[in-house]
Amino acid sequence: MPYSIYTIELIKKYRFNPIFLSIISNQISSLLKSEIFRNTGMLVSGTVFAQLIPLLLQPVLRRFFEPEVFGAFAIYQNVLAIIIVGASLRFEQAVVMPKSDKWAANLVFLSIMLNLAVSVVLALFLSSFVVQVSEFLNQSLQYSLYIYLLPFGIFLYSTYQVFHYWLIRQKAFKELSYNKLTRRLFEGSTQILFMFTKNTHGLFYGDIIGNFSNLIIIIRKSIKNGLTFSYFEWKTIKTVFKEYIQFPKYNLLPAFLASATYFLPTIIIGKLYGQETAAFFDLAKMLLVIPVAFIGSALSGVLLQRYSNKYREKESILRELLFLLFLSAVIAVFEIIFIQIWGISVFRLFFGENWIFSGELSHILVWAYAANFLVSSFTIIFVALNKVKLYSFLQLLYFVGIAFLFFLRIPDFEVFIKIYVGIEIFCTFLLLISILKIVWDYDKSIILKTSL
């Protein structure tokens, strides 16, 4: 039976059927009691409390540090976020894959060594061309410290990510929640301390100290959860490198493009419209991505482990995916309504009159970030279902669309933002359609095999 006809006949056959509705109700009930909701709930709770700390500090910090300072710090963070994706060549994501803990541990060691090598090479490059890099980013030389220490920040966070995947492998979600909270406490307290000393680099110092404490704690947690140096073997490292070479080969480019697509706009705005404008954009973005920060990142980590297992065991994914997409859509619609009604008032109340422009930008940007929230948690399915080549192609299209903004040179910033939002929405829904298609095909193949 043709694909489209099969779908229509299925809907006609079962819609409004009481038995079918009862089955759906039972499925929803079982999903709410399932492991994925327990694990996601644990990570979300830790993420929520961790993200609340910097959010609660923002009204204070935004009234002390000038927009230019926040703009320079935002550009630093966005450059860092792009580079850390490739620092370990994506081998860190493979840590959850092997059945053997020994293989997984050697993937941890391999990832850290690659990360160290990338950080050292980058440090040598930036120390030689700091002036040129500052000019390219349209950043004042008074913030050149950010560029000098960028490789150190990359090493800290990338190494943390490696141990993060080890704890996901061990299902140590409680430890991960604790880690997120501790990092934000160190970061926030440091930034407040430097605020009182009137040090304009306080935001940067807080970030570095937060990441350093984060790394120390997660190393201890990883050792407690079975990671030991006795697993280290050069022979095994070579073996896992060859076994999981598809991660850098097929996943590095799409992951890098996905990260660049998400973080490049702030960098482009900083270069074309200045650090202050980048700060206004970044604040609007920070509040609009709260659903992604609170729920999306936690859900994504759980889905990688869960759907990788389902793929190995040839278990169905579609029904669970549709339910999670529905919940995400409800949250996205609520965010749009809230921002359209109270957006500007929220920015004025919490951040002061200097940041009202961020509230005005949020009215336009919310459509893009609501769509992004709907899809971002589920792009990990491309990895879990071994469709990284398709993901690479889609991310290349997405990246080209965002990179196109760099060449627009439009004097009117509002027009620039509207074009950016249009590109975001189009590319995001292209990803959503692709996710649904590959999951549908995967589930259909399982049904056909079991029926034979």
Whether residue 16 has pLDDT greater than 50: no
Whether residue 19 has pLDDT greater than 60: no
Q: Which residue has the higher pLDDT, 149 or 30?
A: 149
Instruction: Report the interhelical angle of 35-64 vs 173-196 (nearest 10°).
Output: 0
Q: Which two tokens stand for residue 135?
A: 């000019």
DSSP assignment of 233-267 equals -HHHHHHHHHHTTHIIIIIHHHHHHHHHHHHHHHH
Measured in whole angstroms, how far is the alpha carbon of residue 147 from the centre of its chain?
23
Instruction: Report the interhelical angle of 173-196 vs 150-169 (nearest 10°).
Output: 160
Instruction: Report the interhelical angle of 297-313 vs 35-64 (nearest 10°).
Output: 160
User: Can you tell me the mean pLDDT for 67-92?
Assistant: 94
Q: What's the Rg (C-alpha) of the chain?
A: 23
Q: Which residue has the higher pLDDT, 68 or 320?
A: 68
Taking the C-alpha atoms of residue 279 and residue 351, their distance in angstroms, rounded to an integer, is 13
Whether residue 209 has pLDDT greater than 70: yes
Return the amino acid letter for 223.
I
Give the angle subtended at the CA of 247 by the CAs of 253 and 285, to the nearest 5°. 50
Taking the C-alpha atoms of residue 213 and residue 227, their distance in angstroms, rounded to an integer, is 19
Return the amino acid letter for 274.
G
Torsion of CA 61, 62, 68, 71, to 10 degrees: 90
Taking the C-alpha atoms of residue 276 and residue 53, their distance in angstroms, rounded to an integer, is 24
Model confidence over 100-144: pLDDT tens digits? Answer: 999 999 999 999 999 999 999 999 999 999 999 999 999 888 888
Cα atoms in the 13 Å half-sphere on the side-chain side of 323: 15
Task: State which H helix or E strand residue 117 sits in.
Answer: helix 101-128
Model confidence over 232-277: pLDDT tens digits? Answer: 999 999 999 999 998 898 778 878 887 898 899 999 999 999 999 9
On whether the CB atoms of residues 213 and 183 are closer than 8 A, the answer is yes
Model confidence over 281-339: pLDDT tens digits? Answer: 999 999 898 776 667 666 666 676 677 777 777 778 888 888 888 888 888 899 999 99
Is pTM beyond 0.85? Reply is no
User: Where on the phi/psi map is residue 358: left (φ > 0), alpha (ψ -120 to 50), or beta?
Assistant: alpha
Listed residue (215, 228, 218) closest to 172, CA to CA = 218
Range from 8-17, 76-85, 259-268, 439-448 carrying the lowest mean pLDDT: 8-17
Taking the C-alpha atoms of residue 435 and residue 439, their distance in angstroms, rounded to an integer, is 6
Q: Which two tokens stand for residue 331?
A: 């949250």
On whether the CB atoms of residues 108 and 162 are closer than 8 A, the answer is yes
pLDDT at 26: 53
Range from 6-15, 22-31, 138-147, 442-451 carrying the lowest mean pLDDT: 6-15
- Contacts with 90 (C-beta within 8 Å, 6 or more apart), sequence order: 247, 248, 251, 252, 255
On whether the CB atoms of residues 81 and 215 are closer than 8 A, the answer is no
Taking the C-alpha atoms of residue 181 and residue 184, their distance in angstroms, rounded to an integer, is 5
Measured in whole angstroms, how far is the alpha carbon of residue 280 from the centre of its chain?
21
Return the amino acid letter for 402.
I
pLDDT at 34: 57
Q: What residue has token string 């943390």?
A: 160
Q: Which two tokens stand for residue 168?
A: 């996901």
- Mean pLDDT across the chain: 85
pLDDT at 6: 40
Give the angle subtended at the CA of 424 by the CAs of 420 and 427, to the nearest 5°. 135
Measured in whole angstroms, how far is the alpha carbon of residue 145 from the centre of its chain?
26
On whether the CB atoms of residues 204 and 73 are closer than 8 A, the answer is yes
Model confidence over 379-408: pLDDT tens digits? Answer: 878 877 878 788 888 889 999 999 999 998
Taking the C-alpha atoms of residue 127 and residue 415, their distance in angstroms, rounded to an integer, is 37
Q: What residue has token string 């700390």?
A: 53
Q: What residue has token string 């919310």?
A: 366
Taking the C-alpha atoms of residue 108 and residue 106, their distance in angstroms, rounded to an integer, is 5
Percent share of the chain, pLDDT over 90: 54
Q: How many helices (H) and strands (E) does the chain have?
A: 21, 0
Which band of pLDDT confidence, cut at 50, 70 and 90, is reported for residue 173?
confident
